[in-house]
Amino acid sequence: MTRLDGKIEIVWKTRLCTVDDEFGAFQIWVPSDPPLAVVEFSDGVRQVAAEKIKFCDEDHQMVVGFEKFSKENGNAGRQDQGGG
């Protein structure tokens, strides 16, 4: 977030997620092959495979809402309308 005094504020945001039906707080992506993520669970912090993460926070709900709106309105607003 930029403020009027020219200073930049960096905010570290965690995201609520589940991994194999266990709630956790996503922390950061680990650049690796395959991609991993650091997730904090109630019993500790672990690295997990990216594809196992299911976000369940407000950001995810916004994505779900946009997808529903898009389907209900014939994919209105999509940039990738096909072609070749």
Using an 8 Å Cβ cutoff, are 23 and 67 in contact?
A: no
> Is the pLDDT confidence value at 83 over 50?
no
Specify whether the backbone of 27 is left (phi greater than 0), alpha (psi in -120 to 50) or beta: alpha
Could you report the per-residue pLDDT of 29-69, keeping only the tens digit for each?
A: 999 999 999 999 999 999 999 999 999 989 999 999 999 99
Using an 8 Å Cβ cutoff, are 12 and 25 in contact?
A: no
Using an 8 Å Cβ cutoff, are 25 and 40 in contact?
A: yes
- Indicate the average pLDDT of the chain: 87
The model's pTM: 0.69
At 46, list the tokens.
Answer: 């672990």
Per-residue pLDDT at 79:
59
Q: Where are the alpha helices (DSSP H) in the chain?
A: 58-72
